[in-house]
Amino acid sequence: MEKINKKNFDFFNLKNKNLQNKNLTGYSFKKTNLTNANFKNSIIKYSDFWLANLNNANFTNADLSRSILCDTKLSNTIFTNTNLGESNMSHSDLKNTDFSTANLKSVNLRDAIYNNNTKWPKNFSPKKYGLKNVDKKTKIKKNLKTSKDKLIKKAVSALKTGKGYFVFKNVFTKKQIEKAENLIIKNVSKKIPRVKKRGIPKDKRLYQMWVYHLLKKHEVFREMAQPKIIMKIFEKLLGKDFICGGFLANCLLPGARGQEIHIDYPYMHMTNPGEKIMLDTKNSLLNCQILVMLSDFNKKNGATVLVKGTQNWKKYPTKKDLVKKKITNLCYKKGTVVIFNGLTWHASMPNFSNKHRTCILGQYLPHFIKPKFNELATLSKQTINKSSDLLKQLLGVNLRFPEIME
């Protein structure tokens, strides 16, 4: 077996080099280009290939025991009958590599990457050795994207022509929900003494409390106004530059009265009760709502109710319309998010419990509809400048206007 006198080949370009039948014990090939190199039948014990490029190299019948091959490119490399015992191959790229007949006893493969085309010896467990399958990660990401796309499509269909609403869970973290509820209750608590002076319990309408302009009150509300998946759904329903027409809280105190079944702005101003809206509401939605439950919703504490599919009726309901209609109570746990078409008949019910029932209500509109609440005017310039591009869009900051000609 031929022995090469020079032992240091660091940083060399040895691409396509024929090094078969050589004694390379203790040699150094750090950061060396050894693409397509041939090491067949060579002895390369105690050698150092740190950061070397060994893609497509051939180590058939070679002895690489106790060598350093960490952070090394080893894609499509052949290790047929190769002795790799006690070598260090951590953090290396092993995609499409053939180890099917190699000796991998006591090899360090921690955090090396491989794919589904990498071949391993029989009964070898990559997971046990701390390897990472990049194909698995890609597959998971692909599956998540497909699942997300299907969910968006399903929600869009539900709001357009389906039941008129769609339910989400785990949109916000527990921390966000708790923070939002505490801030709203704190705000409501300041109003209760003023309300009591106005004749409660004679006028129970005052038990339904509203907290307006949440976006100016805390960062958590600005985060909750723009959940990514729901914003993608609203973009498909309202158009690319849709805006937020209001972001507020509703708190039903014990004893609060409910509402009449209704539709929302701007639809409610486009017709009289019982009359149809002369508009293509299937392809051109003018209102989408988000309801974030900050309390458990149930029949006793005034859960919001909806009448399924009524967005397709395109009318403000009358008592006569409701006679044979089945009402759906949105009874869900705290943290649940419901989105619905503003044309879907809905209302909050009376609170017969001894606890408050709290939620956030967000209204979203096409950019050409005047917002019911001017959220932009309540925010400081500093807050606006720090806002995300999406929030700026929701506030109407970047709406296009015709340019002035010179």
C-alpha pair distances (Å), 250 with each of 72, 82, 165, 186, 356 = 60, 71, 19, 13, 10
Q: What is the pLDDT of residue 380?
A: 94
The answer to whether 279 touches 270, Cβ cutoff 8 Å, is: yes
The answer to whether 301 touches 351, Cβ cutoff 8 Å, is: yes
**What is the mean predicted confidence (pLDDT) over 208-213?**
91
What value does the mean pLDDT of the chain take?
A: 89
The answer to whether 87 touches 105, Cβ cutoff 8 Å, is: no
pLDDT per position as a tens digit, 158-168: 999 999 999 99
Which structure tokens are listed for 124? Answer: 């070898």
**What is the mean predicted confidence (pLDDT) over 29-36?**
95
- pTM of the prediction? 0.64
Write a three-state SS string for 223-289.
HHCCCHHHHHHHHHHHCCCCEEEEEEEEEECCCCCCCCCECCCCHHHCCCCCCECCCCCCCCCCCEE
Give the rounded percent of residues in the chain with a pLDDT score beyond 90: 73
Q: What is the pLDDT of residue 191?
A: 66
Residues 6+ apart with CB under 8 A from 224: 172, 176, 180, 292, 360
Measured between alpha carbons, how far apart are the two ends of the chain, in Å?
A: 84
C-alpha pair distances (Å), 33 with each of 14, 183, 200, 311 = 6, 61, 84, 66
- Can you list the domains of the chain with their CATH numbers? 1-130 (2.160.20.80), 151-395 (2.60.120.620)
Above 90 in pLDDT, residue 319?
Answer: no
Q: What is the pLDDT of residue 406?
A: 65
Q: What is the pLDDT of residue 198?
A: 46
Confidence of residue 282 (pLDDT cuts 50, 70, 90): low
Q: What is the pLDDT of residue 258?
A: 86
Give the highest mean pLDDT range of 31-45, 120-134, 273-287.
31-45
pLDDT per position as a tens digit, 113-149: 999 899 999 889 888 888 988 886 655 555 656 688 8
pLDDT per position as a tens digit, 44-103: 999 999 999 999 999 999 999 999 999 999 999 999 999 999 999 999 999 999 999 999
pLDDT per position as a tens digit, 354-403: 999 999 999 999 999 999 999 999 999 999 999 999 999 999 987 766 66
Residue with tokens 């299937």: 282
d(CA 281, CA 284): 5
Write a three-state SS string for the chain.
CEECCCCECCCCECCCCECCCEECCCCECCCCECCCCECCCCECCCCECCCCECCCCECCCCECCCCECCCCECCCCECCCCECCCCECCCCECCCCECCCCECCCCECCCCEECCCCECCCCCCCCCCCCEEHHHHHHHHHHHHHHHHHHHHHHHHHHHCCCCEEEECCCCCHHHHHHHHHHHHHHHHHHHHHHHCCCCCCCHHHHEEEECCHHHCCHHHHHHCCCHHHHHHHHHHHCCCCEEEEEEEEEECCCCCCCCCECCCCHHHCCCCCCECCCCCCCCCCCEEEEEECCCCCCCCCCEEECCCHHHCCECCCCCCCCCCCCEECCCCCCCEEEEECCCCEEECCCCCCCCEEEEEEEEECCCCCCCCCCHHHCCHHHHHHCCHHHHHHHCCCCCCCCCCC
Confidence of residue 206 (pLDDT cuts 50, 70, 90): low
**What is the mean predicted confidence (pLDDT) over 250-270?**
90
Which structure tokens are listed for 94? Answer: 């092993």
Q: What is the pLDDT of residue 366?
A: 94
Q: What is the pLDDT of residue 325?
A: 73
Rounded (10°) angle between helices 134-160 and 228-238: 40
Confidence of residue 39 (pLDDT cuts 50, 70, 90): very high
